[in-house]
Amino acid sequence: MGRVFGYRAACRGVMLAWCSVLFACAGDSGPSADSQQAASQAQQLLSSGSRADGKALYQACAACHGAQAEGNRALGAPSLRNQQHWYLRRQLDQYRAGQRGSHPKDSYGQQMQAIAKTLPDDAAVEAVVSYIAGLGNKPAPATLTGDAKRGADYYSNLCGACHGPNAEGLELLQAPALAGVDDWYLRRQFTHFRDGLRGADQGDKYGYQMAMMAGSLPDEAVLDDVLVYIQSLAD
Ligand code: HEC
Ligand code: HEC
């Protein structure tokens, strides 16, 4: 018995070591203790806050997305500054409906879904989105390296028709702006679409469209090239 136990314990040790190596390499181990604390504070604030005061509601978002909605990489929360009103609104509605952030492996999405569901009603969603949109555009800093020229070719062939020639977003197709949005965040979302963590819910028809496209890039290096090109379009 003792020997078997010892062997099993050793195996488990090796597997745990492997898991931590894998997580360390992915650099994306999910929400930290800090962000979980911010989440519960945000939910408390939202459930006691005023429904129609966007500025007051935004205080609950600031803990993660930053005082000026500039984003916070350590917490996995993206900048919201370069995103259009209609897209922010639809994403909050989709989190609230459980169409985004329900996949068991999408821990960041789950966290944001819980917060969106604490927004009391549609008027509160509208008020907080109007407040964010009113902060104006401010491109997030570029953090990736790659071949922008190669990225430009892929972008114009595979992405531009929906996201617009300057990655400015196209409301008609419900494809959001990508230029000026945090590149590390876009990278995570792209791989989530590709791996079925986002866009797989039955009610998520726009996410489904994007998920169909996410298989079109050959590898991660090309994805970086495309994202570097997209960031060069930001203003
Ligand atoms: C505890 C931290 C936290 C708080 C508080 C928080 N968020 Fe988020 N938010 C996140 C994370 C993490 C993501 C990325 C989720 C994902 O990967 O799906 C996100 C994503 C979003 C997105 C999607 C952006 C996009 O480009 O797709 C919107 C919109 C958003 N948040 C709005 C808000 C609003 C409005 C509030 C306040 C009511 C808020 N968030 C509060 C952490 C937070
Ligand atoms: C058929 C139209 C279409 C094409 C082509 C397309 N997209 Fe999208 N994309 C969308 C739509 C629609 C969404 C919004 C999905 C949602 O609402 O969840 C989206 C969302 C995204 C997002 C998430 C943005 C965010 O803020 O969360 C990324 C990243 C993205 N697309 C990258 C790309 C890249 C890179 C390409 C080219 C390889 C591309 N897309 C091609 C329609 C398209």
190 and 105 fall within a common domain: no
Residues 120, 154, single domain; the answer is no
Q: Could you give the number of structural domains in the chain?
A: 2
Q: Is 35 in the pocket of ligand 1 (CB under 6 A)?
A: yes
Quote the pLDDT of residue 127. 95
Instruction: Please classify residue 228 by burial: count the beta carbons closer than 10 Å to its beta carbon, then call 0-12 exposed, 13-18 middle and 19+ buried.
Output: buried
Task: Please indicate, yes or no, if residue 4 is contained in any of the structural domains.
Answer: no
Are residues 159 and 110 part of one domain? Answer: no
Nearest C-alpha to atom 40 of ligand 1 is from which residue?
61
DSSP state of 144: -
pLDDT in tens, 156-215: 999 999 999 999 999 999 999 999 999 999 999 999 999 999 999 999 999 999 999 999
Residue 38 domain-assigned? yes
Q: Is residue 79 part of a domain?
A: yes
Contact residues of ligand 2, CB 6 A cut-off: 158-159, 161-163, 173-176, 178, 181, 186, 189-190, 199, 206-207, 209-210, 213, 216-217, 226
Mutation choice for ligand 2 from 182, 198, 213, CB with most ligand atoms inside 8 A: 213
pLDDT, tens digit, for every residue of 113-151? 999 999 989 999 999 999 999 999 999 999 999 999 999
Q: Which structural domain range is residue 197 located in?
A: 148-232
Instruction: Please list the helix, strand and coil fractions of the chain in percent, rounded to the nearest 5, in that order.
Output: 60, 0, 35
Residues 178, 114 share a domain: no
Question: Ligand 1, closest atom to CA 92?
Answer: 29
pLDDT tens profile 11-64: 444 444 443 333 333 346 788 888 888 898 888 888 876 678 999 999 999 999
Same domain, 158 and 124: no
58-105 pLDDT tens trace = 999 999 999 999 999 999 999 999 999 999 999 999 999 999 999 999
Shared domain check, 76 and 159: no
> Quick one: pLDDT at residue 66?
97
| Residue 231 phi, psi dihedral angles, 5° rounding | -65, -30
Q: Which residues pair with 170 in a beta bridge?
A: 175
Do 175 and 211 lie in one domain? The reply is yes
CATH number, domain with residue 37: 1.10.760.10
Pocket test for ligand 1, best of 34, 65, 201 (most atoms within 8 A of CB): 65
